[in-house]
C-alpha cells in the first residue's frame, strides 16, 4: 500500500496497492485445488467516507472496503487497486490494508496473513 494523507478542514487520503501470491513449480508446491484472496482496506477518522471506484473492492461501510475472490486450479493470483480515496472532517488516520491468502488442497487449508498500516 502506498498512500498520502493531507489535512485541513477536510482531510483526504489516496492510495494504491496490491496483493499477489504464487505457488511456483520451483518450490515443488503442487497447484492448489482452490486459492482464495481476501483484501480489506480500512481507515479511521471523523465520519470517514471511502470511494472505491479505483479497484474491485466491494463497499462494506463508510470506513471499510473488501475484495474476495476464489480461483480454482490456479497457482498464481493477484489483486491490484489504484486511486482509492477517503475523506473526513478534520482528520484521517490508521489507513490499513489487511490481506489473507488461503491455499486449499482437498480438505486441508493453509492461510497466510499480512497487514500494512500507515498512521
Buried b (16+ CB within 10 A) or exposed e, 86-95: bbbeeebbeb
Task: Quote the pLDDT of residue 108.
Answer: 95
Degrees to nearest 5, angle at CA 96 with 36 and 18? 45
Kindly indicate the confidence band of residue 60, based on its pLDDT and cuts at 50, 70 and 90: confident
Kindly indicate the confidence band of residue 106, based on its pLDDT and cuts at 50, 70 and 90: very high
Degrees to nearest 5, angle at CA 59 with 57 and 64? 90
Query: What domains are there in the chain, each with its CATH number?
Result: 2-118 (2.60.40)
What pTM was estimated for this model as a whole?
Answer: 0.77
Task: Quote the pLDDT of residue 34.
Answer: 92
Amino acid at each position: 500500500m502506498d498512500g498520502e494523507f493531507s489535512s485541513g478542514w477536510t482531510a483526504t487520503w489516496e492510495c494504491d496497492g496490491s496483493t499477489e501470491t504464487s505457488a511456483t513449480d520451483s518450490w515443488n508446491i503442487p497447484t492448489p485445488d482452490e486459492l482464495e484472496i481476501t483484501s480489506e482496506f480500512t481507515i479511521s477518522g471523523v465520519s470517514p467516507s471511502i470511494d472505491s471506484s479505483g479497484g474491485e473492492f466491494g463497499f462494506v461501510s463508510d470506513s471499510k472496503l473488501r475484495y474476495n475472490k476464489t480461483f480454482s486450479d490456479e497457482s498464481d493470483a493477484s489483486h491490484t487497486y489504484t486511486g482509492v480515496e477517503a475523506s473526513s472532517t478534520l482528520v484521517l488516520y490508521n489507513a490499513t490494508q489487511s490481506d489473507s491468502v488461503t491455499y486449499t488442497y482437498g480438505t486441508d487449508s493453509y492461510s497466510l496473513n499480512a497487514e500494512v498500516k500507515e498512521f
